[in-house]
Chain A
Amino acid sequence: MPNNSMTASDYPIAEKWPEDVKGSRGKPLPALTMEAVIDGSVTIEDLRITSCALVNQAQIASSVGRHALAKNLKRAAEMTRLSQEQVMEIYELLRPGRADSKESILQVSKKLREEQQAILLAEFLEEAASFYEMRGLFRKRY
């Protein structure tokens, strides 16, 4: 891994830093072989992207001026800590008329911030809550 933030010259990281690219159980790319898949030592978990890889990709995107993309990748990095159910529940909550009050969104953001260290996601939700209030989205839709 480079000492500083990654840039375009570290890309593609699978080719430039294969030993440092790891799946969610810590196996590096070169260990994800056909033999390992067949003998059962590699599972679907090993093919899951990590928050580290997403942060690296965010750094690369930033290095070429794609700050909005980088920010999304940083939100995604935090989101790797959320279960699939939680991701989908929050998505549902953010759809129009699903949350009945600002509070119900803020409760979720509190949990994200305090229990899952997902600061960017918490901010994203808090901001949504305040705009939903301004635009009257907390009314029930049929």
Chain B
Amino acid sequence: MNQKNDANRWKRFEDWDARPLRLDKFAAEDPENGFAAFHGAADPKPTLGLVGNRITAMDGVQEEDFDMIDAFIANYHIDPVIAKEAMAIPSEQLARMLVDMNVPRTQLTRLARGLTPAKLAETVAQLNAMEIAFAYSKMRARQSPGNQAHVTNAKDDPLQLAADAAIAVALGFDEIETTMRVARNSWSNALACCVGSTVGRAGTLFQCSSEEAEELEIGMAGFTSYAETISVYGTESAFIDGDDTPWSKGWLTAAYASRGIKMRCTSGAAAELLMGFHESKSMLYLEARCLCLQRGMGSQGTQNGGIDGAPLASTVPGGVREIMAENLIAVWLDLECASGNDARHSESDMRVAAKVLPYLIGGSDLICSGFGSILKYDNSFNPSSFNGEEIEEFLVLQRDFEADGGLTAVEDARSLDLRRRAIDALAFVLKDLQLAEATEDMKRSVAVASGSNDTESFAPREVALISDKINQNGVTVIDVIRSLYRGEFYAEAENLLFLVKLRVSGDYLQTSSVVRDGHVLSAINDPNNYTGPGTGHRLTEARRKELAAIRDVLDRDEVLRAEAASKVTEAKSIRYQTMGPAIIGKNVKEIVVGVSPGFGSKIFRTLAGHRLSDVLAALKTGIEHGHGSMRLVRLWHTADTSFLGLSAARLSGSGLGIGLQSKGTAVIHQKNRLPHNNLELFSNAPITTLKHYEKLGFNSTVYAGGDLPDPIIVPTKGEALGARFHARVALTYAIETAMTKDDASPEDLEITFLEVR
């Protein structure tokens, strides 16, 4: 027995083992130990005890046994007036209302104010993934979808932060979030992103995720405009372990608003499980508690949907459906939802794309929270679902589904201009405020760099010093505006002033606020009014065109331009001469090669890039090797491979013909066969080599002699040739079919090779 077949395992498993998917680890369902998405061992049944307006029991717990979370939810979330009515509605009915387009969202958000966490969880658990996605789209608060970016780098380099912030703004992100590798660099990161985000457009909100007190101070200095790191947890012990209580977090929630800073809380499945305090409750039920708590605290919104726990939540059966379900509870509770899709939950690109799709097509306040606008290794939050590497994939998904994911392609030349502008602006401010000096070499290296591995910029120690100085000198956003102005960065100074003025009115403290075209857009003035087809968020024609405008899009002119370039080289290598109408040959050794109407006159290269002169030369060599002779005929009545081949065969003295399209598709045919019952076909022109054509020529002579040759196999590595070539194929083919004439007769062609072969 051949040794390589001596295996006791189907080798497909080895192939599977090598897939990135197999780096993901999956966990068994184990409700006792917290590994349950929907049905925890200790999940309570929904109940509510009401005496007058006093809540005496909730979800199976008596008032005297309430933990802090129960107590806070009972006091601040449950509206006793609505509760009586809402809790009486069976959860099956509530579930149907969520997916009923005729039930407006405001009716459901009103009822949610009277529902307990267990009731909310029990309701959404009844929906399948598609129903959850639909309900989410209907229930989200603001009508126009948006997106959030991470802007960080592995060196905390301020120049790169500024450049990358400008790019994130140009891509259309509504919010950008930074954090640091080294905590003390927070002020430097804040200043850098703040300046970078003023380039090109005003109104991109910015946050610097750091320690609570410092984050608020940075906000007070005016560098940041929002925060989202107010984490809450679904069990009391996890909360205390996180060194907070519902009241301390509630205090912070008011603190941000009191300083005119937009703020949302954060919670996500599996946080309690990671922290070891799950109380044998399901991820969904614990999240329902977190979300009721956040609404009760008066947060306008939530960053929700697994978040840092997404990778763990996704290890259990139904984990991803659970993440969708908790997001649905968030929007049902009328909260802005920055819907996760950030911490990458899988090494498999397919799992990642599948997870984001419902949010992309259904929309979300912030689809990702955030999307890594920088390369994976530069993401100081850890890699996101989508990163700098994958931005174009996201742009194409938007285009495929005609779904607004909040992003717009940035042109090549413009991106470098924007980067340079941001770098120059920040470098000026750093110098002007006597914080640091950037050399021209530093600026250039950052401008062109894709990631921090390619930069020669500030050293880590220098960044720490910049950061300390900003803090110690009490630099505020007013100093930065004045500095930008002094440096004649007038547009950037105006954009920054516009942004900080937003905090005076507090308009962006309302639910789901973003800034678009100089105006605050929120659930107040852009409420989601979905009630079926034709309502809710729809693409405008202008936006549809923006989504379609990705780079390197092929059109007919582009194909003709490329061919015109090849025409020049072909003119030097081959000459075609039309000899008049072709008739049936008498030579039993001849093989007729029938070419398509545009062959060598409009189209000059095959899809594999072979010059048509080379393909003809290869065929000729092969035919002559088989002691045949080649006769070339141009067919005018068809451009179809099979009919080119069959018509050629019918004209051939040997009865054998080869059909050859300009794009390189070729067939061996015999005169008495049915059109699509050919002898051999090269359907994969892009991977067909000149050797293959030569062999094809030879084989045709073997068939002519009445023998059966070894058919030629063009080996494929499984390339998605359709994706790579079909746009060009269709355009090329259309050029040829437009040249066909129904009754036109074939013409003999004489060719002269002008090069020594």
Q: Which residues of A contact B (CB under 8 A)?
A: 8, 11-15, 21-23, 29, 32, 34, 37-38, 42-44, 46-50, 53-54, 56-57, 60-61, 64-73, 75-80, 82, 84, 87-88, 90-91, 94-96, 121, 124-125, 127-128, 131-132, 135, 137
Given contacts A12-B507, A53-B505, A80-B258, contact A95 B244 (CB under 8 A): yes
12 A–B contacts, CB within 8 A, in A order: A12-B519, A29-B504, A37-B497, A65-B113, A66-B334, A69-B298, A69-B299, A75-B298, A76-B258, A79-B254, A79-B257, A128-B245
CB distance from A2 to the nearest CB of B (A): 15
B109 lies within 8 A of A57 (CB)? no
Query: How far apart sit A76 and B250, CA to CA, in the bound complex (Å)?
Result: 11
B524 lies within 8 A of A48 (CB)? no
Write out the residue numbers on chain A whose beta carbons fall within 8 Å of the beta carbon of B8: none
A37 lies within 8 A of B507 (CB)? no
B247 lies within 8 A of A21 (CB)? no
Write out the residue numbers on chain B whose beta carbons fall within 8 Å of the beta carbon of A47: 222, 260, 477-478, 500-501, 503-504
CB distance from A29 to the nearest CB of B (A): 6
Query: How far apart sit A65 and B300, CA to CA, in the bound complex (Å)?
Result: 12
B504 lies within 8 A of A72 (CB)? no
Given contacts A67-B79, A96-B244, A131-B68, contact A76 B505 (CB under 8 A): no
CB distance from A132 to the nearest CB of B (A): 7
CB distance from A106 to the nearest CB of B (A): 14
Interface majority SS (helix, strand, loop, mixed), chain A? helix
A12 lies within 8 A of B505 (CB)? yes
B245 lies within 8 A of A11 (CB)? no
Binds A, one of B195-203, B209-217, B678-686: B209-217
Given B250, B300, B511, which contacts A124 in the complex, CB threshold below 8 Å?
Answer: B250
Write out the residue numbers on chain B whose beta carbons fall within 8 Å of the beta carbon of A72: 250, 253-254, 257, 297-299
CB distance from B270 to the nearest CB of A (A): 22
Q: Is B569 an interface residue (CB 8 A)?
A: no
CB distance from B269 to the nearest CB of A (A): 23
Given contacts A11-B525, A44-B222, A73-B298, contact A32 B245 (CB under 8 A): no
A68 lies within 8 A of B77 (CB)? yes
Q: Mark B488-515, 1 if CB is under 8 A from A, else 0.
A: 0000011001001111111101110000
B298 lies within 8 A of A71 (CB)? yes
Since A11-B510, A135-B236 are in contact, a sample of 18 more A-B pairs with Cβ atoms closer than 8 Å, ordered by chain A residue number, is A11-B507, A11-B525, A13-B505, A22-B504, A37-B478, A37-B497, A42-B478, A44-B476, A44-B478, A47-B503, A48-B504, A64-B523, A70-B298, A72-B298, A73-B257, A75-B257, A84-B217, A94-B247
Write out the residue numbers on chain B whose beta carbons fall within 8 Å of the beta carbon of A68: 76-77, 295-298
Query: How far apart sit A91 and B215, CA to CA, in the bound complex (Å)?
Result: 14
4 pairs of A and B residues whose beta carbons are closest in the complex: A72-B298, A76-B257, A49-B260, A79-B258
Given contacts A12-B505, A47-B504, contact A131 B247 (CB under 8 A): yes
Query: How far apart sit A70 and B257, CA to CA, in the bound complex (Å)?
Result: 11
Query: How far apart sit A37 and B79, CA to CA, in the bound complex (Å)?
Result: 46
Interface residues on B, range: 35 or more
Query: How far apart sit A18 and B243, CA to CA, in the bound complex (Å)?
Result: 41
Given A12, A61, A70, A91, which contacts B252 in the complex, CB threshold below 8 Å?
Answer: A91
A69 lies within 8 A of B250 (CB)? no
Write out the residue numbers on chain B whose beta carbons fall within 8 Å of the beta carbon of A124: 247, 250-251
Given A15, A69, A95, which contacts B300 in the complex, CB threshold below 8 Å?
Answer: A69
What residue in chain B is nearest A36 (Cβ atoms)?
A: B497
Q: Which of B75, B243, B251, B255 has the most CB of A within 10 A?
A: B251
What residue in chain A is nearest B521 (Cβ atoms)?
A: A12
CB distance from B268 to the nearest CB of A (A): 21
Q: Mark B158-199, 1 if CB is under 8 A from A, else 0.
A: 000000000000000000000000000000000000000000
Q: Mark B506-548, 1 if CB is under 8 A from A, else 0.
A: 1101110000000110111101000000000000000000000
B250 lies within 8 A of A29 (CB)? no
CB distance from A111 to the nearest CB of B (A): 15
Given contacts A34-B494, A37-B478, contact A66 B511 (CB under 8 A): yes
Query: How far apart sit A29 and B476, CA to CA, in the bound complex (Å)?
Result: 19
Interface majority SS (helix, strand, loop, mixed), chain B? helix
Write out the residue numbers on chain B whose beta carbons fall within 8 Å of the beta carbon of A135: 67-68, 236
Q: Is B220 an interface residue (CB 8 A)?
A: yes
Query: How far apart sit A88 and B254, CA to CA, in the bound complex (Å)?
Result: 12
A14 lies within 8 A of B507 (CB)? yes
Q: Is B482 an interface residue (CB 8 A)?
A: yes
CB distance from B237 to the nearest CB of A (A): 10
B525 lies within 8 A of A48 (CB)? no
Write out the residue numbers on chain A whose beta carbons fall within 8 Å of the beta carbon of B247: 94, 124-125, 127-128, 131-132
Write out the residue numbers on chain A whose beta carbons fall within 8 Å of the beta carbon of B240: 96, 137
CB distance from A112 to the nearest CB of B (A): 11
Q: Is B602 an interface residue (CB 8 A)?
A: no
Given A15, A54, A79, which contacts B255 in the complex, CB threshold below 8 Å?
Answer: A79
Write out the residue numbers on chain B whose beta carbons fall within 8 Å of the beta carbon of A90: 251
CB distance from B578 to the nearest CB of A (A): 73
What residue in chain A is nearest B72 (Cβ atoms)?
A: A131
Given contacts A47-B222, A95-B248, A131-B68, contact A57 B243 (CB under 8 A): no
What residue in chain B is nearest A120 (Cβ atoms)?
A: B254
Given contacts A12-B520, A22-B504, A49-B260, contact A95 B245 (CB under 8 A): yes
Query: How far apart sit A43 and B109, CA to CA, in the bound complex (Å)?
Result: 41
Q: Mark B215-230, 1 if CB is under 8 A from A, else 0.
A: 0110011100000000
Query: How far apart sit A14 and B515, CA to CA, in the bound complex (Å)?
Result: 13
CB distance from B493 to the nearest CB of A (A): 7
B505 lies within 8 A of A29 (CB)? yes
Q: Is B106 an interface residue (CB 8 A)?
A: yes
What residue in chain B is nearest A35 (Cβ atoms)?
A: B485
B254 lies within 8 A of A132 (CB)? no
Q: Is B110 an interface residue (CB 8 A)?
A: yes
Q: Mark B296-327, 1 if CB is under 8 A from A, else 0.
A: 11111000000000000000000000000000
Query: How far apart sit A37 and B482, CA to CA, in the bound complex (Å)?
Result: 7
Query: How far apart sit A50 and B505, CA to CA, in the bound complex (Å)?
Result: 8
Write out the residue numbers on chain A whose beta carbons fall within 8 Å of the beta carbon of B252: 91
CB distance from B69 to the nearest CB of A (A): 10
Q: Is B396 an interface residue (CB 8 A)?
A: no
Query: How far apart sit A29 and B216, CA to CA, in the bound complex (Å)?
Result: 24
Q: Is B728 an interface residue (CB 8 A)?
A: no
Given contacts A12-B519, A37-B497, A135-B68, contact A91 B251 (CB under 8 A): yes
Query: How far apart sit A66 and B257, CA to CA, in the bound complex (Å)?
Result: 15
CB distance from A64 to the nearest CB of B (A): 6
B482 lies within 8 A of A96 (CB)? no
Given B250, B509, B523, which contacts A57 in the complex, CB threshold below 8 Å?
Answer: B509
Q: Is B351 an interface residue (CB 8 A)?
A: no
Q: Is B481 an interface residue (CB 8 A)?
A: yes
What residue in chain A is nearest B297 (Cβ atoms)?
A: A72
Write out the residue numbers on chain A whose beta carbons fall within 8 Å of the beta carbon of B502: 14
Q: Is B259 an interface residue (CB 8 A)?
A: yes
A48 lies within 8 A of B259 (CB)? yes
B254 lies within 8 A of A76 (CB)? yes
Write out the residue numbers on chain B whose beta carbons fall within 8 Å of the beta carbon of A22: 504
Q: Is B397 an interface residue (CB 8 A)?
A: no
Query: How far apart sit A11 and B519, CA to CA, in the bound complex (Å)?
Result: 11
Write out the residue numbers on chain A whose beta carbons fall within 8 Å of the beta carbon of B494: 34
What residue in chain B is nearest A37 (Cβ atoms)?
A: B481
CB distance from B293 to the nearest CB of A (A): 11
